[in-house]
Each structure stands twice: as structure tokens, then as C-alpha cells.
Amino acid sequence: MNKKQIIGIVIFVVIILGVVAYKIFSSEDGINIVDKNLTTIYVATGGGKEDFLADERVNEILRKKYKLNVVYDSWSNGKTVLWPLIRERVGFGDQTIMDKINNGEDITIHTSGVSKYDVLFTSDQRFYDYYKLQPNKEAKEADRYTVLDGGLTLNTPIVIYSWGKVVDALMKEKIVTKSEDGVYYITGMEKLMNYILAGKKWSDIGLTELYGNINIASTDPVTSSPGATYYGLLLSILSGGNINNSDLNTNLAKLKKFYLKSGYMNNTPADLFERYLKTGMGGEPMIVDYEKSMIDFANANPKGFNEVKEDIRVLYPSPTIWNSHCLTIFTEEGKKLYAAFDDEEIQQIAFNKYGFRTGITGGVYDVSSLGLALPKSITSTVTSLKMDTYNKLIDYLK
């Protein structure tokens, strides 16, 4: 037998052994038998954090360090209280149950055979707070799981994105202030709102190259969570941080006027942010979005970010408001995932790669490596509005 034949036989044997090893150490669902001691956690999750939840390193930490295999199913935040929170409602789990749902049968979380969740991961604190209340049966809300634990996990503040010349003009108007560490704050937010309500033009504050009235573009608060969060912030500012029924209608009327003057609105923050980057100062002088959007963009598209970063300005309303992604825990297994989100490496990945600050206060971060003027911590914030206040706001704007 010559040398080539021997090498061929060796390669063949290695391949056969590899196939056998794969069969032995793998299950039908592709999970390694060595990892069979993993606890599978089922999570119903709202949007805005898909890339982070799918991150390979995050999931590797959850598997190796915490022995968790996490399965995330996408849910609309509003549907988490209107529909029974079971996997079959979004196309997973038991086919018989799905057929019954499609046939109009009354399926609840108590129905035998349904696939239940361990955790709900909302994209807005108001839905987290609301889920903990008893369901409103008059509004045909579904039965809910008993909440064992939970809280704020991933946070990102509302910010205003703008451009160098615009911010320079706003600083002359005493609307924007630059801190010693180079961070821009909108310290005259109500003054800026009054400029918009009064129909002041960009040329009135020295920006003759910009056409039309001063405006801040946002997504529609009636149909978009970021837009609703932003208008919740404006309502809180108009109310002096204390929203009460005595002046609620007066402030809602002012916001309605502000809303009508805002003109066309995008329905998704991704579309608005892309428009801001592509059309520049002439197209979108100022837009509302989350802080995480720019960090996410800088990591996903470093070349594009380097082309615009010198002229981009990130403005922090003072106060601002958190968009908080909250974990709602239903089972003892779900508590393990809640604890795992305190992992220091997971928290660093959340911020450095995806722009999420973590914990109740948003944490303290080294922002120097990002090439953006961002604050190490966010201290001036208003409390998230309750669901009934948001509902009054949105109904009024409609």
C-alpha cells in the first residue's frame, strides 16, 4: 500500500469518526449532549433589542457560566396583555393548541397543554408596570401569570440628534448648554417648545441656510413607542415633573398644538434615524431617538460613522426619560435569567456594542472609546408615565 492510499484511508476514518461523534454528542434539536444540563428559559420579548439578545458572546456566557439556554419569541408589547401569553399564540409549541386558536376556541394560560413562558421582556416600563395589575376584563384582556420578580434591565435615554451649526445657534439662544466634559444638554427644553409653538423660523435664530420653521422630527406618538415616550417626556416637562388632573387638559391641549405643528412623522425610529444620517442638516436638522441608536450605528457601520461623526451632536434633554426594557419573572427558572443580566461582561457588551445602559440607574460607563460626547452617567431624568396617563395622552392626540 503506497503513501497516498494510507493518507486516503486515514482521512476516511477521521470523517467516519467525526460523523459518529456528532451522532453521539448531539441531540435531534442540535444541542450538545454535554450541554444537556442546561435549563431552557422561554421568554416573550418586545422589540428593540433583537441583535443584543442574539449576540453569540452573550448567549455563550448564558450557556457556559449560568447553564441557561434562552429561547426568545417576538411579541408586540400591547398583545402581551390582550392575548394569553403562550407560545402557541405566536406560532410555536403545540400544533393542536394552535389549531384550536385558529378555530376560535377560548384558549388561556390555564388551558391544559399550552406552552408557557418563564419571562416577559417588555420594551417599555409602562407595559411592565401594567402587566403586574389585574387584567381589565371589560377591555377583554387575557388572564396573566403571577409575577414573582422583575425590574428594569436594559435602559436607553431619549436624546435629540442634531448638527454642529444648529447646536451652535441653540447655544446662542441659551437653549443648549455644553458641560465641562463636552456633553450637550438642552437646558431650555420648554423655551425650545415655545419657539416651535410660536412658529419661529430657523432664520430667526441665524440659520439662514435652513428653510422653514424650527422643528424636532419624531416618530408618531400615536403609533410608535419612541414617539410616545418622547411626548410623555414633554408632558412631564410641561407639568413641572408632577402630572396631575388639575392642569392635565391644559398641557394636553398645548401638546396637541405641538403635535399638529410637527407635520409628517415616520412610523419607525429606524427610518427616521436613517433619514437623519442620509439627508444631513438640510433634511433633518433635529430628530428624536434613543441614545443606543448612534452607538449601534457606530459599531455596525464604522466607515459611515467616521464620515459624519465630526458634525453629529447628541443632545440630552434636561431632564430626559428612560426607555426601559424590563424583565417580568413568572417562574423560579426565570429568576436565573434575571440574575444573569447582572453579569459584568454582559453589561459591557450591552453598552459598548448595542448602546444599552443597564440596571435601575443606567450605570456608569467609560465612554471615551466611542468617539462621541456622551455622559458617563445619566442623572437628570423624569419617572416613566403610567399606562393610563399614556392612554389619555395618545387618545387626546388622536
Listed residue (111, 114, 113, 109) closest to 131, CA to CA? 109
**Structurally, how many domains does the chain consist of?**
1
Model confidence at 115, pLDDT cuts 50, 70, 90, reads very high
Residue 28 has pLDDT above 50, yes or no: no
Count of beta carbons in the 10 Å neighbourhood of residue 235: 22
Tell me if 253 is assigned to some domain: yes
Tell me if 96 is assigned to some domain: no
Model confidence at 217, pLDDT cuts 50, 70, 90, reads very high
Ramachandran class of 355: left when φ > 0, alpha when ψ lies in -120 to 50, beta otherwise: left
DSSP string, 295-336: HHHHHH-HHHHHHHTTTEEEEEESSEEEEEEEEEE-SHHHHH
Give the containing element (helix H, strand E) for 251: helix 245-261
Q: Which three cell numbers stand for residue 59?
A: 448567549
Tell me if 202 is assigned to some domain: yes
Rounded distance, CA 257 to CA 194, Å? 11
CATH (domain of 199): 3.40.190.10
Residue with cell 402581551: 80
Give the residue numbers spanning the domain of 169.
Answer: 156-322+375-397
Residue with cell 412631564: 236
Residue 258 has pLDDT above 70, yes or no: yes
Residue 368 has pLDDT above 80, yes or no: no
Tell me if 146 is assigned to some domain: no
The pTM of the full predicted model, rounded to 2 decimals, is 0.86
Tell me if 85 is assigned to some domain: no
Tell me if 188 is assigned to some domain: yes
Mean pLDDT throughout 360-380?
80
Rounded distance, CA 357 to CA 49, Å? 12
Q: Which of 113-127, 160-174, 362-376 has the lowest mean pLDDT?
A: 362-376
Share of the chain above pLDDT 90, in %: 77
pLDDT, averaged across the chain: 90
Q: For residue 362, what pLDDT is reported?
A: 72
Distance from CA of residue 41 to its chain's centroid?
Answer: 21
pLDDT tens digits, 336-354 = 999 999 999 999 999 999 9
Tell me the CA distances in angstroms from 316 to 211, 261, 310, 355, 378, one per residue in order: 25, 22, 18, 15, 9
Q: For residue 21, what pLDDT is reported?
A: 53
Q: For residue 371, what pLDDT is reported?
A: 79
pLDDT tens digits, 81-103 = 999 999 999 999 999 999 999 99
Tell me if 162 is assigned to some domain: yes
Tell me if 311 is assigned to some domain: yes
